[in-house]
A and B are shown apart, each in its own frame.
Chain A
């Protein structure tokens, strides 16, 4: 089975079919995806801007992270719960869509980086300010690439 055939059979699943045949479903799920984006972006920004020393400097970075984390996870779950059905409704289009491949691969890197590099480094609280600033910058670039490439799926 080639990758394209996998994508084809995913598109033929009932969930994608239901979204394609509905007038309202795609836009509705897409709008929730955008609300999730706002929360995801906010929780990423508050931590990364703190790491860069650009907000909440009077508060320890660990505390800023621990308070934002539950809402970051909530936002991420929302993004998957809405993003997967959206993707299933147009898998073949996405197969040929360069922006989507950029988005998905960057998303994988961003998630790994956040949970296995950024968060542990911040919570261990041993890294220098310069290192933390670098981590914040990488995180921002990764997540905003995901967002930008995601929006671009609709244009390309």
Chain B
């Protein structure tokens, strides 16, 4: 069962980050320059949302398959923080920056603030993919000898080390 959920998680990456990248590339002024940002957003973001839902559901299932180790994974913690930052970035765009969208909706190259949120979004999701893939590797696991900073960041507990 785990491989099927994991594969779904990876394939949904194309739907989620892949379609989001198209929107970000438009906001950066790199692609679809003659198409209004609102057209791209309205047409593509529903697919991004579908991708996100699949990622989230399969991600939660993958977490529950290996909960203790994942909870103490340095990479998982980085990943969650990056997802929160990406959510804040998205909210910032939605509630602040896009308020005056009519002014630059059709601009081939939108204003700096818009390009900056798009670049931030791309960067954060790339870090999420990176750290997500690294969860599979055990370099920083609590059941191995670790330097103090790893023990702190991973929240290793001595009792739990024995049970792992």
> Residues of A with Cβ closer than 8 Å to B?
23, 27, 30-31, 34-35, 37-46, 49, 54-59, 63, 67-68, 70-71, 144, 147-148, 151-152, 155
User: Given A34-B133, A45-B14, A49-B47, does the pair A59, B35 have CB atoms closer than 8 Å?
Assistant: yes
Q: Select A45's contact among B18, B33, B129, beta carbons within 8 Å.
A: B18
Q: Is the CB of B133 within 8 A of A46?
A: no
Most buried by B among A42, A56, A58, A144: A42
Chain A residues, CB < 8 A from B125: 38
Of B3-11, B82-90, B93-101, B147-155, which binds chain A?
Answer: B3-11
CB distance from B131 to the nearest CB of A (A): 9
* Chain A hits for B19, CB < 8 A: 42, 45-46
Judged by DSSP, the binding face of B is: helix
Pick the 10 closest A-B CB pairs, nearest first. Answer: A41-B14, A42-B18, A38-B17, A41-B18, A155-B3, A31-B133, A31-B130, A151-B7, A56-B43, A67-B32
**Complex: A37 Cα to B15 Cα, angstroms:** 10
Instruction: Tell me if B61 is interfacial: C-beta within 8 Å of chain A.
Output: no
Query: Interface readout for B127-141 with A: 1 if CB under 8 Å, 0 if not?
Result: 001100110110100
- Does B62 sit within 8 A of A, measured CB to CB? no
Query: When the two chains form the complex, which single residue of A42, A54, A67 contacts B14, counting CB atoms closer than 8 Å?
Result: A42
Complex contact A40–B31 (CB within 8 A): no
- B78 in contact (CB, < 8 A): no
Contacts between the two chains (Cβ within 8 Å), count: 101
Contact of A37 with B133 in the complex, beta carbons under 8 Å:
no
Considering the chains assembled together, what is the distance between the CA atoms of A35 and B124 in angstroms?
12
Which chain A residues lie closer than 8 Å to B130 at the CB level?
A: 31, 34-35
- Taking CB atoms, residues of chain B closer than 8 Å to A30 are 133
Q: Is the CB of A58 within 8 A of B39?
A: yes
Given contacts A30-B133, A31-B129, contact A45 B15 (CB under 8 A): yes
How far in angstroms is the closest Cβ of chain B from A16? 19
